[in-house]
Structure 1
Amino acid sequence: MADGKLKLYGVAASTCTGRVLVTLFEKGVEDFELKVVNVRKGEGKTPEHKSLQPFGLIPVLQDGDLTLFESRAIIRYIANKFEGQGTPIYGATPIERALVEQWLEVEAQNFNGACKDALKYAAASPVDEEKLAQSLEKFGKVLDIYEARLATTQFLAGDFISLADLSHLTTGWKLFDKYKKGSVCFDGRPHVKAWWESISSRPAWKRVLEMI
């Protein structure tokens, strides 16, 4: 890329694109261009976009000759590329990095699916209260594990904010804040509540919300 500017294809309201945006802002990266691709309108299925992302999804990051998709791969790349600036969010030692990676996997494999399942019912109209309650109960079992972890550390990977925490913001915000299920999810889980209030109040995340 002649101008050396990162190009991010997606929309801010997308949970996966938002995950990348908050990481860019935490790392103090301002020299990037958001190229809007609205997959809900079929824009992901164009030959041009599928040449970048063969599954027709978002986000996609272009950095020079590199074209990268899958949001968690992208945020790892950003954390590495801009390691010397902004917030240190990928761990300073091999042990810290391993814990960041572990909790990123927990987010992807446990939190994300259970949260999205609850979100599906919370966002429905009309709301099926029985199914919503069942999905929140299932999600609560994941949050119980978080509560135990956060009783011993300020953030998931330790006493420093990391990619593992940031990766929860987009999906969590929709359930906890947009659809106002935080009071139910945080009931009896004071450490989860404190953690959520801490990470969701960060200036980088507020910038993403302004874009949604």
Structure 2
Amino acid sequence: MPVKVFGSPTSAEVARVLACLFEKDVEFQLIRVDSFRGPKRQPNYLKLQPRGEALTFEDGEVTLVESRKILRHIADKYKNQGYKDLFGPGALERASIEQWLQTEAQSFDVPSADMVYSLAYLPSDMPLDGKKANTGGFPSAGMHPAHRQKTEEMLQLFEKSRKELGKLLDIYEQRLDQEEYLAGNKFTLADLSHLPNADRLAADPRSARLIESRKNVSRWWYTISGRDPWKRVKELQRPPSAEAPF
């Protein structure tokens, strides 16, 4: 019985799991669930996930809903197939991977998601000089007060996220000056877990500078994002009409 993944491949949580399944050559069935359809969602899915979260993973009798727990499950259960270094060969390697997995979950995930969220509201030609964002550079004449307030809130969120990510990526820059990947000289779950949100940052010029301005982080990003499993996830993220056969 193949593994089942319920969710949208455009969700960061789902994309993280799909990348891991592809890395491990695990057969799976993707049941696309639109998180925004409310009562129209599949009844069977709502039995698994009553609150309608973005991701549900089934593997036999195992049902999980948190992407990083799912990564550990896949890498451990299917350790002898596909790419074999995702979780490390021993306790020392695994401890380093766990450290960086926690860093991604606790320090990278929220500010990167917040930045992507804020950019969805902000002008595509907003200043990119790295100075404190303010509404002075944006035309506000005729702007509805509620819209103006929302724009100001998003600018503040963008600036806060930029500072947090900048400090964190400075740490990554130092680490990646010593090692090819975060947890050592091989690609692991520590790197894979960053793919969905980092991909969104790299795709927007307003946030891509966070990666491109750091030589080692940039090298690391282009290496991990160029892996075939992630390219396959990107294929699944295309609209169905443009999607490649799977």
- Aligned residue in 2 for 1:56: 52
Which residue number corresponds to residue 37 of structure 1? 33
Structure 1 residues 182 and 117, CA gap change in structure 2 (3 angstroms)? closer
| Equivalent position amino acid for 2:218 in 1 | K
Q: Which runs of 4+ in 1 moved over 4 A?
A: 43-47
1:160 aligns with 2:186: yes
The letter for the 2-side match of 1:15 is: A
Q: Which amino acid aligns with 2:224?
A: I
| Structure 1 residue 134: Cα displacement | 4.4
Aligned to 1:97: 94
Distance change >3 Å, CA 208–CA 162, structure 1 → 2: same
Percent identity between matched residues is: 40
Between the two proteins, the alignment pairs up a number of residues equal to 207
Partner amino acid, structure 2, of 1:115: S
Matched to 2:200, the amino acid is K
1:122 touches 1:175 (CA, 8 Å); kept in 2?
no
Deviations along 1:123-171, whole A, 9 cap, x unmatched?
Answer: 2244676223443233111111111111111101100100110010001
Long gaps (5+) in structure 1: none
Map of 1:209 onto structure 2? 234
Give the TM-score of the pair, scaled to structure 1. Answer: 0.90
CA-CA distance at 1:23 after TM superposition: 0.3
1:122 is matched with: 119
Q: CA RMSD for the aligned pairs?
A: 1.9
Paired residues for 1:3-82 under 5 Å: 4-29=1-26, 31-42=27-38, 48-82=44-78
Partners of 1:118 and 1:139 within 8 A in 2: no
- TM-score calculated relative to the size of structure 2: 0.78
Asked if the contact 2:24/2:82 (under 8 Å) is kept, the reply is yes
Equivalent-residue separation in structure 1 for 2:39 and 2:207 (angstroms): 33
Give 1:172's aligned residue: 198
